[in-house]
Chains A and B, each alone.
Chain A
Amino acid sequence: MFSNPLKQVAEDYLYTNDELVRERTKQQLIRAGSSAVAPLIDALIITLRKFNSASLGKKKMEIFADVMIKEGVLGGKYADMVKEQIRGMSDQEGNGISFMQAGVSRKARDHAWQVISQIGESAIKALFVIVNDRDKLKRLTAAFALSAEEHPSRFVVNSIITFMPVLVKLVGDEMGEATGGLLVRTLSLSGDKNAIEEMSDFAQRGDMSYDECNEMIIDGAIILIAKSR
């Protein structure tokens, strides 16, 4: 059985704290073009699982937080909030999602998206092939990677619209709905009126503000991916 060498490169890229390693692996992935996308999504799943604070003990969380603060991933008031949260954790394990998990998972997502957006349209196409995959986890993770884009281009918007009717069929399935939520959220950032309306309805039903709803969709996806097996 042959393993894809890009898989290890993608894992190293997303998980490393060493900026030199990050840059070297990033360039390797960019050079690989759209074939880097599938390994990146697999690596993102693995990375999010590693960052799952619900499965980490308090001690590991402290070590992890120290590294993150030292590396500048978490700074200022967020560093204090994370420390405070870890102090309040039981010795065994945390529950739900911590600030740190939310932060570092987003960071990994942003790194994945940096490579995809730098490769360009061919990589975005490859990402949407995964969005249309039968594997629900991969589909969700691809939509999660896309959620790093705060100013979607028409290419991204059109790609979402093309796949949207398929996702409507996924209502009732937790990962499917989370995928749809992420895509609607990205669509709403482009100013799409229907998507904004849908987000507002969703926020109202959940008794949340619009911004909270935005963040909740991201956190929900992180939890689902991180706890997946």
Chain B
Amino acid sequence: MEVDQIAWDYIMGTPRDQETFSHALIKVGPPAIFPLLRAGLRTTQEFKPLQTSVWEQKATDAESAWIYQIAEPMLKSIYTIVNAIGQPAYDALCRAMWERQDERLKVLAAIVLLQEEQPSSRTVKQVNDTFKMLWENDQSKKYVKQSAIIVILSHFLAHAGDSGHQQALRVGASQLNVSVEQAVVMSRNTGLLYLIR
């Protein structure tokens, strides 16, 4: 079976299926990361929240259900494999932000990284390099999508102990009148919603 199909079956499976497919993906190692990201993007597209025109459904309610009940479990599933594979998988996630032209895939890779609570110094350095590269590119192109990555990676670096990014996060949170933790969740959710817009 193709790795893309295994990745999709893993994210979409029953808990028992997930266990079986997770072993297969861990065995594949870092080459499983891009198929996992593609399967994650497919999940976001397949289960898009309903549009406001459908039976007067509030878009925000549908989006909230999508974020917490569809996107979050998907992120958790991807992170489980990344964490099990270890450093080569984190390297692959960082590479996804450098090499790939698909902006959504880059944003998803950044959001998956944001889940890591104890990043290795190698991952922190790679994220820092990625951040700088994107920041330089962003000087001339003010894309919202690029900014989404930048904000998410900045939060990641703040969490990893970078004082400059910690300060930026505090300022951002106070401007929004929310706690630092809430600001991180808001940025993540904005990034997730970018994936379906």
Q: Is A162 an interface residue (CB 8 A)?
A: yes
Chain B nearest CB: distance from A222 CB in Å?
25
Query: In residues 3-47 of chain B, which contact A (Cβ within 8 Å)?
Result: 11-18, 43, 46-47
Q: Is B70 an interface residue (CB 8 A)?
A: yes
B55 touches A166 (CB 8 A): yes
Given contacts A162-B66, A192-B69, contact A154 B56 (CB under 8 A): no
Chain A residue total in the interface (Cβ 8 A)? 18
B69 touches A154 (CB 8 A): no
Q: Is B85 an interface residue (CB 8 A)?
A: no
Chain B nearest CB: distance from A4 CB in Å?
27
A158 touches B57 (CB 8 A): no
Q: Is B49 an interface residue (CB 8 A)?
A: yes
Q: Is A121 an interface residue (CB 8 A)?
A: yes
Q: Is A172 an interface residue (CB 8 A)?
A: no
- Majority SS of interface residues in chain A? helix
B46 touches A158 (CB 8 A): yes
Q: A residues near B, CB below 8 A?
A: 121, 151-155, 157-159, 161-166, 169, 191-192
User: Can you report 28 residue pairs joining A to B where beta carbons are below 8 Å apart?
Assistant: A121-B12, A151-B15, A152-B14, A153-B13, A153-B17, A154-B11, A154-B13, A154-B14, A154-B73, A154-B74, A154-B77, A155-B12, A158-B12, A158-B47, A158-B69, A158-B70, A162-B48, A162-B50, A162-B65, A162-B70, A164-B65, A165-B61, A165-B62, A166-B55, A166-B57, A169-B55, A169-B57, A191-B15
